[in-house]
Structure 1
Amino acid sequence: MSNGEQNATGRGTSRGDSQGGVQSVDRAITVLEILAREGHAGVSEVAAEIGVHKSTAFRLLAALEERDLVEQNTDRGKYQLAFGILRLASAIPTRIDMARQAQPIMDDLALQFDETINLAVVREHYAVNVQQSRSTAAVASQNWVGQLTPLHATSSGKILLAYMPDEQRDSILDQAGLPKLTENTVTSRKALLDQLAEVRETGLATAFEELEVGLNAAATAVRDHTGEVVGALSASGPAYRYDKARIKSTEEDLKLAGSRISHRMGWLG
């Protein structure tokens, strides 16, 4: 075997050690992600997705199988994740601190948008803000951390309502009602449900002066490792500055930030 050539385990020799080793690790991690996403896959499927020869995919799977990270199931020899993954996962705290995971991403977004960024979760029939980042332009804005806000009148609340089970949502709306807070507050349940259906289609919720006059906001979902929506990431600012056009132009960046937080929470979607 010449210098720089890889051996059967994917390890390089001589000057190829570093490059070959990193590539093998990257491919092995990709294989685990494929199996986590698909549930199971054969050698040919794995090879096609990571762009390698079947023999290379087989060696990767064999190495992972030796470590009890994957195993063959009874479905024509396809591979799936094995109990070794649980052994590794058990070393992680059972509850990942979502606010801590979100903070650096929120800080970056606040600087990018020059607006206030909040992270909210459901508490009883309210949305409660658990983390906040403020830009230089928003230093004098209100501190929303710890504050309870009505679900129907905020962008974060609409995200949380949109993705919760119907029975839970109906119970919350029955209990909390749809009080009118401004002239723009949605007080019709049918109109709100129509909005929530659109939220599920677009992945974005908005609130235009519905909680306070002069305050606009947009929000997107944050998911945990199961794909369940566990929080809402929002950007808010003065209506004269954070208007519909500005929200539209920053929509994809907000969604991307929500996906990045979700990824840090273990979501593979």
Structure 2
Amino acid sequence: MSNVSGEHSASGVQSVDRAVTILEILARTGESGVTEIAGELGVHKSTAFRLVSALAARGLVEQSTERGRYRLGVGVVRLAGAATARLDVVREARPLVRELARDTGETVNIAVLSEGAALYVEQEAGSAALQAHNWVGQHIPLHATSNGKILLSGLPDDGVESEVGRRLRAYTPSTVTSLPALLGQLDGVRRAGYAVAVEELEPGLTAVAAPLRNAHGDVIASLSVSGAAFRYDEAMIKSVIEAVTAAAGTISARLGWHSAQTP
């Protein structure tokens, strides 16, 4: 059984590699027919057609007006736009992220919505975080983090359920595990303009987050400050909220959002 499994795995990887190669071929040639694509891949025409059809079903390639020829589809533009948007956020935010980490002494993160989780794309450790865990590239639960709640606050209620489901995992005794309770929290987050999570993901960790918005006012990312819970008394939390929301407002302005707009 293990050999069969290994063969299927190798076949799957080969198919992915060939599909990516097709995209590269079309990027280089502008348009190509199935026969030409099969020739470059070194595969039978039926194999090339099957791969092109799969890409076309996802909108990554499309048939041109000339029958039998294919070109890159609008799905590629959508993916490129998403990647560009994330790069823009990180580029515009990086100076403010460093400043915020320096001023608060805490760890600062930026997260985006990805695959039903918060994907961390930028981090800067402050002086108080001597051995800060590196979250960049990791997917973190949406319902148990301040960043996650900010990202969810930009969605309608049915969108929230689509992202987190109805059964929410408890990571600590403080984690919200009821969808109605989470929706109630998100109403408060939208009104306040920030989210606070106290030991909801792991004991001893507190975090405060605020939304990063694009020119249309959409929540496209979240900016957070996190640190050891014992340091976060009422005065500290108030100070961090002011710092995070101010920094998030500045970054959002750089991304084209005007604070006078109604989100």
Shorter-chain TM-score bucket reads 0.5 to 0.7
- Residue 226 in 1 paired to residue 208 in 2? no
Give every structure 1 segment of 4 or more consecutive aligned residues whose post-TM-superposition deviation is greater than 4 Å.
Answer: none
Question: What is the RMSD of the two structures over their aligned residues, measured on CA atoms?
Answer: 1.7
- Residue 113 in 1 paired to residue 104 in 2? yes
SS at match of 1:171: helix
Partners of 1:216 and 1:243 within 8 A in 2 = no
Structure 2 residue aligned with 1:33: none
**How many equivalent residue pairs?**
176
- Residue 238 in 1 paired to residue 238 in 2? no
AA aligned to 1:108 is E
Structure 2 residue aligned with 1:186: 176
Structure 2 stretches of 5 or more lacking a match?
Answer: 1-83
Partners of 1:121 and 1:130 within 8 A in 2 = yes
Distance in structure 2 (CA, Å) of the matches to 1:142 and 1:251: 22
* Superposed displacement of residue 139, structure 1: 3.3
Distance in structure 1 (CA, Å) of the matches to 2:240 and 2:170: 28
Distance in structure 2 (CA, Å) of the matches to 1:222 and 1:229: 6
Q: For each residue in 1:178-223, what CA deviation from the matched residue of structure 2 results, as whole angstroms up to 9, or x when unmatched?
A: 1010111111112211111000110010111000000000100000
Partners of 2:111 and 2:222 within 8 A in 1 = yes
Partners of 1:102 and 1:261 within 8 A in 2 = yes
* Superposed displacement of residue 173, structure 1: 2.3
* Superposed displacement of residue 100, structure 1: 1.1
Percent identity (aligned)? 47
After TM superposition, list the pairs within 5 Å mapping 1:153-164 onto structure 2.
153-164=144-155
Distance in structure 2 (CA, Å) of the matches to 1:146 and 1:221: 19
- Residue 202 in 1 paired to residue 192 in 2? yes
Q: Label 1:226 to 1:127 Cα distance change in 2 as closer, same or farther (>3 A).
A: same
Structure 2 residue aligned with 1:101: 92
TM-score (norm 1): 0.63
Structure 2 residue aligned with 1:135: 126
Candidates 146, 150, 157, aligned match of 1:166: 157
SS at match of 1:137: coil
Distance in structure 1 (CA, Å) of the matches to 2:130 and 2:94: 17
* Superposed displacement of residue 109, structure 1: 0.4
* Superposed displacement of residue 129, structure 1: 0.6
Structure 2 residue aligned with 1:255: 245
- Residue 214 in 1 paired to residue 214 in 2? no
Q: For each residue in 1:76-134, what CA deviation from the matched residue of structure 2 results, as whole angstroms up to 9, or x when unmatched?
A: xxxxxxxxxxxxxxxxxx74611111010010000110000000000011001100111
SS at match of 1:222: strand
Q: Label 1:151 to 1:244 Cα distance change in 2 as closer, same or farther (>3 A).
A: farther
